[in-house]
Structure 1
Amino acid sequence: MPQEISLKDVPGLVGTVVGVSDWITVDQPMIDAFAGATMDHQFIHTDPVRAAAETPFGGTIAHGFLTLSLLSAMNYNCLPKIREQTMGINYGFEKVRFMSPVRTGKRIRGSFKLAEARFRGAGMLMNTYEVTVQIEDERKAALTADWITISQFDPKDRPEGV
């Protein structure tokens, strides 16, 4: 996939995987920082000794929302930039499913399939991605989501006929 594409190229990519991110290591300092930012200090995330003794995980696990929040970093890492885009907006999710816990120290990456791309208004392109966050060396995904983003652009750059 090229690092940069044009608005007119986006509709032709629907149905294809448009990016797979680099691996990100989810370590205890990252989990602890997220716990502090969200005030979610549940022991399964922040107490390795207790989590090892009292959970089936063998230690601490990442917050599901931490894994979800890393989609932004994964997106920037692997999706082609739209040449005409002036701003990107996170519109939301249709569906998020936390499939498997991410154990501390594991590496994850995102795979982005463009499910839909439609022009809205004079200067917006709404993209829906089917995202899967994989856990290295594990069969089951950490999460799946349908993520909707908006690419804003100058209306004069809108391709003809769309």
Structure 2
Amino acid sequence: MSRLIINNFEEFAQLEGEELGVSDYLKITQEQIDLFADATLDHQWIHVDPERARRESPYGSAIAHGYLTLSVLPHLWAQVVQVNNVKMMVNYGIEKLRFNQPVLVNDEVRLRAALQSISNLRGVIKTEIRVSLEIKDRPKNAFEATVVFLYHFQ
């Protein structure tokens, strides 16, 4: 996939209302899930006990933490857009987040992003990006949300 290159506010603003792109697929492994469980102290069996999940879960498999799927957003976003001439970017918020479908072990996910709105707040650029995390070969997205980033251009 080729990334969209944005060099300044004016280039960014021209994309308002447009789809920005789609990332490559990323496989979510049991090892990632286990490491995330260790990092967050969330060891619920549906995530970290594949045998029990296979037997007792309605999904027939262990599933990724919803917040793990959300946490890969920066990695996937960097595949969609490269914003140049930035001193700093701040994750400002997440609005209207909905987890629609669980991500099973070894599912592949990708990010689809569109620029919902952009504004210049006295030199700080506020972007609202509509994102969805698609699951390969599945009809429903893992999640949908509007992420808000603040860009401080040089």
* TM-score, normalised with respect to structure 2: 0.94
1:57 corresponds, among 56, 59, 65, to 59
2:16, 2:115 within 8 Å by CA — same for their partners in 1?
A: yes
3-state secondary structure, aligned to 1:147: strand
What pairs with 1:64-103 in structure 2 (closer than 5 Å)? 64-81=66-83, 83-103=84-104
Cα deviation per residue 1:49-88 (whole Å; 9 max; x = unaligned)? Answer: 000111111110000000011111111121132x331111
Aligned position for 1:143: 143
Map 1:3-14; keep pairs closer than 5 Å.
3-14=5-16
What SS does the aligned partner of 1:35 have? helix
1:95-129 deviation digits (Å, cap 9, x = unpaired): 110000000001000011100000012x2100000
Question: How far is the alpha carbon of 1:6 from its aligned partner?
Answer: 2.7
Q: Could you tell me how far 1:9 is from its partner in structure 2?
A: 1.1
Is the aligned partner of 1:21 residue 2:23?
Answer: yes
Shift of 1:36: 0.3
Q: Aligned-pair distance for 1:18?
A: 0.8
Structure 1: segments with no counterpart, 5+ residues: 155-162
Question: Quick check: 2:4–2:80 contact (8 Å CA) kept in 1?
Answer: no
Larger Rg: 1
Cα-Cα RMSD: 1.1
Q: Deviations over 1:1-39 (max 9, x none)?
A: 643433211111011111211111000000000000000
The 2-side partners of 1:10 and 1:76 are apart by 15
User: SS at the partner of 1:13?
Assistant: coil
Give the length in aligned residue pairs.
Answer: 152
Maintained 8 Å contact 2:6/2:12: no
Secondary structure of the 1:137 match is: coil
